[in-house]
Amino acid sequence: MGLTVATWNINSVRLRTGLVQRFLEETRPDVLCLQETNCPDDQFPSGDFRKLGYGHIAMNGQKGYHGVAILSRLPFVSQDTRIFADKNDCRHISVSFGAEARAANGVTIHNFYVPAGGDVPNTDVNEKFAHKLTFLDEMRDWGASAKPASGKAILVGDLNVAPLENDVWSHKQMLDVVSHTPIECEKLTSAIDSAEWVDAIRTLKPEPERVYTWWSYRAADWEASNRGRRLDHIWVSKELAPELKAIDIHRQARSWERPSDHVPVTVTLG
């Protein structure tokens, strides 16, 4: 079938338009899903991506923060956005492909940006953590309806949870840190299981291999300390799981000039 889909939290698409262009030119994925575009739709730098062959663009952005977008070389026949946890802060967009998209025919791609959840993992004192947990519960309840008639669905994005022990640099030291608390890990796992998603990254890079997609800006030397987390995910429906061929974590992008704190991840199907 031959389909490549990438996901990348870009942390401002306007500030890092050049980095997105570099990634598109070097990797040429069929589809790139962006999160944290931090950009209203009418200011999205569409032209810079169109001229590289990504002429099909769906976006759901807002002023200042959050926001998601999908850049595609293949035409899609429909697009949609959905509100989770009663807050319309631009955290989801999806596109569906038809016969004209050939390899992607019948595929629906969902692009998510799950709330980070604030600093304190306690719903009594931190409304953002409560919001994150509600968001994850709603993802779980919605998941079964995410697939088109073909059964071919892909869910990607910055899910802001590193659910497995080897998704973080120190499981023990991270148990009380938002993104790796037991309740978040359970809720993410439950969202996977309830809709029978397949965790594509861990299918091809099983534990105990350590896999990270994010490194904090706060480290003096992110590469030397290597205190990363696997916050970005690619899930595929069980109908697509037999097509899984490769996962690429584009770790080198963390060393590019003025980088995002997340790196792109690409899945190859077919």
Partner DNA sequence: ATGGTTGTCATACAA
Residues of this chain that interact with DNA (CB under 7 A) are: 11-12, 14-15, 36, 38-39, 63-66, 115-118, 128, 160, 217-218, 258
Nearest to 12 by CA among 250, 239, 234, 217: 217
As measured in angstroms, the least distance from the Cβ of 117 to DNA is: 7
Nearer to DNA, 11 or 181 (CB): 11
As measured in angstroms, the least distance from the Cβ of 26 to DNA is: 20
User: In the numeric block, which tokens belong to residue 165?
Assistant: 């022990």
Q: Give the chain's end-to-end CA distance (angstroms, integer).
A: 4
Nearer to DNA, 30 or 232 (CB): 232
Integer-rounded Cα Rg, in Å, for the chain is 17
Strand partners, 199: 235
Nearest to 33 by CA among 113, 106, 98: 113
As measured in angstroms, the least distance from the Cβ of 98 to DNA is: 33
Nearer to DNA, 4 or 11 (CB): 11
> 221 Cβ partners below 8 Å, 6+ apart?
none
As measured in angstroms, the least distance from the Cβ of 107 to DNA is: 28
Give 41-52 as a 3 state SS string.
HHHCCHHHHHCC
* Amino acid (1-letter code) at residue 51: K
User: In the numeric block, which tokens belong to residue 160?
Assistant: 């802001």
As measured in angstroms, the least distance from the Cβ of 202 to DNA is: 22
Nearer to DNA, 160 or 268 (CB): 160
Nearer to DNA, 172 or 217 (CB): 217
Nearest to 143 by CA among 104, 105, 106, 188: 188
As measured in angstroms, the least distance from the Cβ of 196 to DNA is: 28
Gap between the Cα atoms of 22 and 27, Å rounded: 8
Nearer to DNA, 208 or 218 (CB): 218
